[in-house]
Amino acid sequence: MEVATILWREFIFFKRKAFRITAGAIMSPLLYLIAFGWGLGDGVVVEGHTYIYFIIPGIIALSTMNTSFNAVAIRITVAKLHERSFEYYMTAPVRMYLLTLGYIIAGALRGLYAGFLILMVSYLFGVNINVNFMFLLVCILNSMLFSAFGYVAAMVIDNHYDMNRFTTFVITPMSFLCGTFFSLDKMPAVVEKIIMVLPLTHVTKSLRSIALTGTINYSSVLILFIYFTVFFLMGIYVSYKEIK
């Protein structure tokens, strides 16, 4: 019941602000495509593929991460710090693991919507990449784990400045270091090993290998599932801790 209630509320919110949400989800990726895709064109080849084909899976990974994280983190932050409405959930007789799951699914759906928009735009650019069940599964795992991470971040912060620090020191570095816009092959070995710990790296590599070569890295899929499980359990923990 808790999950359905949250999803219905978020659906009403999405329906009222559909145009602004869609425009916000598509603007930055569209600029990336124009700047890097058309700007560099077919003259640049990365890992055996033209750059625009190389970058599309990375932009999908980036968009699903940012949208899922922000959809949950911003909503809960506003509810906690401004509306003070989140306190009602904390004091109501609800099962916190279902409350957590509801917010995570709602954020993940927003992330998947952003990924779908990027696919549509890529087709307009004439870029047709391979999309199959495993591609969708990786997108779902990416959206779920960063939605869960957004939930945890929003629950542990005390003000907007703390959330800005999360974005500055965690989300932004992943956006640029995890192979979204470039190949990691030329990175120093030590740096590459550190980057491989980050979840977005596995998302980007998995989506790119599925879309461009049709191969599946099952170890990366497993790592993403582990990340989601850890963040989900952390979300449940911080929810119960908030009650106390």
Q: What is the CA radius of gyration of the chain?
A: 18
pLDDT of residue 23: 84
pLDDT of residue 213: 87
pLDDT of residue 224: 96
Burial of 159 (0-12, 13-18, 19+ CB in 10 A): exposed
pLDDT of residue 3: 82
If pLDDT is split at 50, 70 and 90, which confidence band does 47 have? confident
Segment (H or E) for 50: strand 49-50
pLDDT of residue 41: 58
Q: What percent of the chain has pLDDT over 90?
A: 39
Query: Which of 23-32, 114-123, 195-204 bottoms out in mean pLDDT, i.e. has the lowest?
Result: 23-32
Share the mean pLDDT of the chain: 86
Residue type, 51: Y
Q: Report the distance separating Cα 7 and Cα 162, nearest Å.
A: 27
pTM for the whole structure: 0.90
Query: Which of 58-67, 136-145, 184-193 bottoms out in mean pLDDT, i.e. has the lowest?
Result: 184-193
Which string of DSSP letters, residue by residue, matches 108-129?
HHHHHHHHHHHHHHHHHTT---
Q: List, in sequence order, every residue forming a beta bridge with 179; answer none if it has no partner.
A: none
For residues 103 and 1, the model is more confident at 103
pLDDT of residue 121: 85
pLDDT mean over 34-48: 70
For residues 93 and 172, the model is more confident at 172
pLDDT mean over 112-136: 88
pLDDT mean over 96-112: 91
pLDDT of residue 187: 84
* pLDDT of residue 59 exceeding 80: yes
pLDDT of residue 30: 79
pLDDT mean over 166-185: 88
157: DSSP letter: -
pLDDT mean over 149-168: 86
* pLDDT of residue 141 exceeding 80: yes
* pLDDT of residue 27 exceeding 70: yes
The residues spanned by each domain of the chain are 2-243
* pLDDT of residue 90 exceeding 70: no
Closest CA relative to residue 33, chosen from 153, 125, 128: 125
